[in-house]
Amino acid sequence: AFEEVFGPYPFDEYGAIVVPVDTGLALETQTRSTFGIDVAGIEQFRSHELAHQWFGDSLTPTRWSDIWLSEGFASYAEMLWFDASNPAYDIDVDAENRRDSIVGVDEEPILDPGVDRWFAEAVYQRGGLTLHALRKTVGDEDFFTILQRWTAEHEHQNVTTDEFIALAEEVSGQDLDPF
């Protein structure tokens, strides 16, 4: 499902390591995601960490200030996975629910969130919601072309938000400054 929307898997192999302790988290180690025993079976965690192989491990933010390019993309990938694998899933409803869960909690910008907020829920959720809003703005055809080109043209490179915006504007033919 991810290769259809992101392009070919960027490495030769993939696997997972499950440590026999409750960690409450997972980690996107390149080609080997690591999960605590308590989260290893949670589909959302598995899809998120797999998506990091494209966004975070192949395309790596140049600066910490661009961390949403990793976490926001992986969070949106969760939504794309559920959309591809569950016919009853409604991506727009999920986007609304995710938005509602962070309203009033953390409304500071996700670009350059600062060291105290690098891994704040807003970076994950608002980053993913930004991508969903971009999809709604430019349409599915352009949006998925943007994702395919983004991963192909920057495979195994460092990336910036400015580069992503430039590509989105090029593909869509739109000035996305107001967006």
Which positions are annotated as active-site residues? Answer: 49
Say which residues have a Cβ less than 8 Å from residue 42's Cβ, sequence separation at least 6.
none
How far is C-alpha 54 from the geometric centre of its chain's CA atoms? 9
The rounded distance, in Å, linking the Cα atoms of 61 and 31 is 17
List Cα–Cα distances, 109 to 32, 39, 106, in angstroms: 31, 29, 9
The rounded distance, in Å, linking the Cα atoms of 74 and 125 is 10
Which class for 60: exposed (0-12), middle (13-18), buried (19 or more C-beta within 10 A)?
A: middle
